[in-house]
Amino acid sequence: MFTRTESFRTFLRLYPVVSILVGIHILFWLLFQLPIPSVQIILRLLDGYNAGIANGEYWRLVTPIFLHISFGHLFFNTVSLILFAPALEKMLKKRNFIFIYLGSGLIADIATYLLEPQQYSHLGASGAIFGLFGVYLFMVYFRKGIIDQANSQVIISILVIGLVMTFFNSNINIVAHIFGFLGGFALAPFFIKKRGQFVHQTYYTSSPSTSRFSIKQVKGKHVIWIIFGLLILIGIFFRFS
């Protein structure tokens, strides 16, 4: 599911939306490297500058999703897209995938505007990408049978690592990561209503599906997630206190 074995041409043909997003990431990063003042001025009008948004420059809530400055940030987000986004593009179809991706990024940027100071500025697709993990996590817990257990464990492991690293790396937009994830999780039920709508054999198994909850279903992994969630909330509290 998350192993890419396609050739370059096959990848472009099977996952056109992901391919376009990757191309946009690389194109804008290359433009940022050009020592041309006019280009730099234009690009600076596209970052997520909160004071600019407050002055009516609302496009800054969307444009940061496509921009990166450092190569490391570009590399991490682009590789994440290539590995984890194709399966969702196939599952959700192009239009729904675009809506969830941009919707998660928009939610992340709105939260950044509301919770960070006016002089705060940010770039990057991390909020939108964390939104994809939010969709995956929704499927793991509420649409059992779409994703097998092995891939479910991969998703949870990557998500935990990503959230932990969010708090330990400097220059990370913590708000965007957290709210991008929550945005994807919240949007998922509107597009993933039942297991039967996905028939691709790579993603579909015959495991029974149930979304009812009872206290007997609470296991050790749920307790760990509760504790981890509390740690995230504590981290956010101390960040803004």
Tokens of 176: 């965007």
The rounded distance, in Å, linking the Cα atoms of 100 and 180 is: 10
Please give the model's pTM, rounded to 2 decimal places: 0.79
Give 124-178 pLDDT, tens digit per residue: 999 999 999 999 999 998 988 788 888 888 888 888 888 777 777 777 899 999 9
- Contact predicate 112/48, CB 8 Å: yes
Instruction: Please pick, among 177, 200, 214, 241, the residue that the annotation labels catalytic.
Output: 177
In CATH, what number does 8-240 get?
1.20.1540.10
- Contact predicate 132/84, CB 8 Å: yes
Q: How far apart are the first and last CA of the chain?
A: 41
Give 70-94 pLDDT, tens digit per residue: 888 899 899 999 999 999 999 999 9
Instruction: Please pick, among 70, 122, 126, 222, the residue that the annotation labels catalytic.
Output: 126
Annotated catalytic residue 200: no
Annotated catalytic residue 122: no
What pLDDT score does 194 carry?
66
The rounded distance, in Å, linking the Cα atoms of 86 and 20 is: 12
Higher pLDDT, 200 or 155: 155
Least confident of 59-68, 73-82, 192-201: 192-201
Higher pLDDT, 55 or 229: 55
